[in-house]
Chain A
């Protein structure tokens, strides 16, 4: 079966750095997405990785290792507005997205 695993909840301090991990087992791989979802709102796109390595975009970076079935999202200089759920999704061989349950990130002052 297809499976995406990420921690249910994480807590971090304002101004700090946090890494949210995602491991996956899917039927094929055509890319990995990270989305941010604030409570009660729709998910918004953060990043897309299809090749191994680190993609940096401002305070957010995303890493992929296809051989390990592993990705992480790195958030730097945390702000209170970063409190949200972070969703990992893998595109399988049929170009359909398989979604993790999301990691709820709580930022404390």
Chain B
């Protein structure tokens, strides 16, 4: 069966510090991968998605970046965090062989920038 894991689950970072969130999918090949951010009372905001190794599409211009160094690994990074980067970050995967289908989410990473 397929599983998805992301870490760390919780982190508190000072403004201006770097960020790295990692996500790994098991039990599937060539998944579509996604990074979302969820702010309180707001819908899920798509940050990045990837349909293959090294292929990253950015939905929202900001100081975050994403990379996909391996087929089932997706990393969200920042060189200098802003207060507005605080939120709940969710990694998700979807069957890459289909245009549609449900998203499966990782456990989430709650980031607080102070």
A-B complex is real: yes
Binding site for B on A (CB under 8 A): 4, 8, 30-31, 33, 40-45, 48, 50, 87, 89, 91, 95-102
Is A87 a contact of B107 with CB atoms below 8 Å?
no
Given A30-B99, A95-B99, is A45 in contact with B42 using a C-beta cutoff of 8 Å? Answer: no
- The residue from B42, B99, B100, B105 contacting A44, defined by CB atoms under 8 A apart: B105
Q: How many pairs of residues, A versus B, come closer than 8 Å at their CB atoms?
A: 46
- The residue from B49, B100, B110 contacting A91, defined by CB atoms under 8 A apart: B100
Is B100 a contact of A99 with CB atoms below 8 Å?
no
Is B90 a contact of A87 with CB atoms below 8 Å?
no
How far apart sit A35 and B103, CA to CA, in the bound complex (Å)?
A: 10
Given A96-B46, A97-B46, is A45 in contact with B103 using a C-beta cutoff of 8 Å? Answer: yes
How far apart sit A40 and B88, CA to CA, in the bound complex (Å)?
A: 9
Is B103 a contact of A97 with CB atoms below 8 Å?
yes
Please name the residue on chain B nearest to A91 by beta carbon: B100
Q: How many residues of B contact A (CB 8 A)?
A: 18
How far, in Å, is B99 (CB) from chain A's closest CB?
Answer: 5
Is B46 a contact of A41 with CB atoms below 8 Å?
no
How far, in Å, is B76 (CB) from chain A's closest CB?
Answer: 15
Contacts of A30 in B (CB 8 A): 99-100
Q: Main SS of chain B's interface residues? A: loop
Q: Main SS of chain A's interface residues? A: loop
**B41-66 near A? 1/0 per residue, CB < 8 Å:** 11111100100000000000000000
Contacts of A50 in B (CB 8 A): 100
Q: Which of A4, A43, A91, A102 has the most CB of B within 10 A?
A: A43
Is B103 a contact of A101 with CB atoms below 8 Å?
no
How far apart sit A66 and B29, CA to CA, in the bound complex (Å)?
A: 33
Given A97-B46, A101-B42, A102-B43, is A42 in contact with B107 using a C-beta cutoff of 8 Å? Answer: yes
How far apart sit A40 and B90, CA to CA, in the bound complex (Å)?
A: 11
- The residue from A31, A43, A102 contacting B105, defined by CB atoms under 8 A apart: A43
- The residue from B43, B100, B106, B108 contacting A87, defined by CB atoms under 8 A apart: B43
How far apart sit A43 and B88, CA to CA, in the bound complex (Å)?
A: 12
How far apart sit A8 and B41, CA to CA, in the bound complex (Å)?
A: 8
Is A87 a contact of B102 with CB atoms below 8 Å?
no
